[in-house]
Structure 1
Amino acid sequence: MCLVPFFVKSTKQLYGQTAESLVLILSVLGKSNMSQLAILYLSLVARKTDPETCDALFQKMKQLYEIGIIIPYPSDFRCHASNIFTEIFFNHKCDSNDIDVVLNTAFLEVLLRDQIIAEVASDYIDPQVGPIILNTLSHFYDTSNNCEITSLHSGPISIDQIKKSFNKKPPPNIEAYINLLHNSEVVFLLSFNLR
């Protein structure tokens, strides 16, 4: 079993060191589906909720992309979702309807393909975004045996929970991970159990 966590926090706080720490954490996951989905979700929500304050994060992500640490989307995402992501990632364009499109295509394709058990714990950035995620996942759970929502809960994430998310030695920047979680409001966290 391998637990791979990522999270999304309030875009209004994505400045300076906070943005750098978040990108560092994402880069630890490398070119995995998890980092791509985290970036995708961040891109959608950041652009929708507070476009003026997400520029620093986009620039850092683009730098990591250019040197090959992260890639914008998996090659087998549906074409429409990939095109949306490309537009958001490079041109900062986002239509509110795109959130539904991406969550119902690229996001769930990866859940289905990799047979991921999703655990959702959150307070939400946008009251319209959270229910979309939960409703989509719930609908998906009802129609497929490949994805199971093991728990839905809200509240603070403890340091023990974070450390337990790594079944092997934690990454070298685990302290930055913990500090970021505890020094700012955490609004969305997914822990994926890859079977």
Structure 2
Amino acid sequence: MKRFILQLTVSALCLVPTAALAHTGVGDASGFMHGFMHPLGGLDHLLAMVMVGIFAYQLGGRALWLVPLTFVAVMALGGFLGVAAVPVPFVEIGIALSVIVLGAIVAFGIKAPVAVAMGLAGLFAIFHGHAHGSEMPMAVSGAMYAAGFMLATATLHAAGIGLGILAGTMSQTYGKTVYRVAGGVASVAGVALLIGYA
């Protein structure tokens, strides 16, 4: 199973350079690249999505794919709400809280039931998706933009799973220190983001 996860992670990371070769500024490619770069361009999105991957790895079993899949699917719904200008309250605060909470969950190694983990991922995904959708440039293809931010998010989740595997391997020697440091750093960054939004 660990070998499969490692192969999945490596495969997802291999997509990043391929996507970067798309010609930006031309039709659908422009929409895709804008969408793909949006989650990668903000520390808040980046940290939350990587923490989702690590959290899913820590839970293991079905959570390994259900938690990231839930995040991506609900984020797409949030993106639609953002594009449609449907108001969602406290988006920036919700994003900062996602970094704090997910970081704390990883740091403390909280073992939530899969349904609870999926619900939490979905709740935070609404905020992230709304931010992506509401910041979509007017001149790009909405479908390609959504495909871009969904692929980038899935790639970040895969990177988080890969980091979880690495931390799990290191944990045989260093206990849970690696998870505590990674989650703690994310939570502190989330607090800084929250203070900045307040």
**What TM-score results when the alignment is normalised by the length of structure 1?**
0.30
Tell me which structure has the larger Cα radius of gyration. 2
**What TM-score results when the alignment is normalised by the length of structure 2?**
0.30
Higher-strand-fraction structure: 1
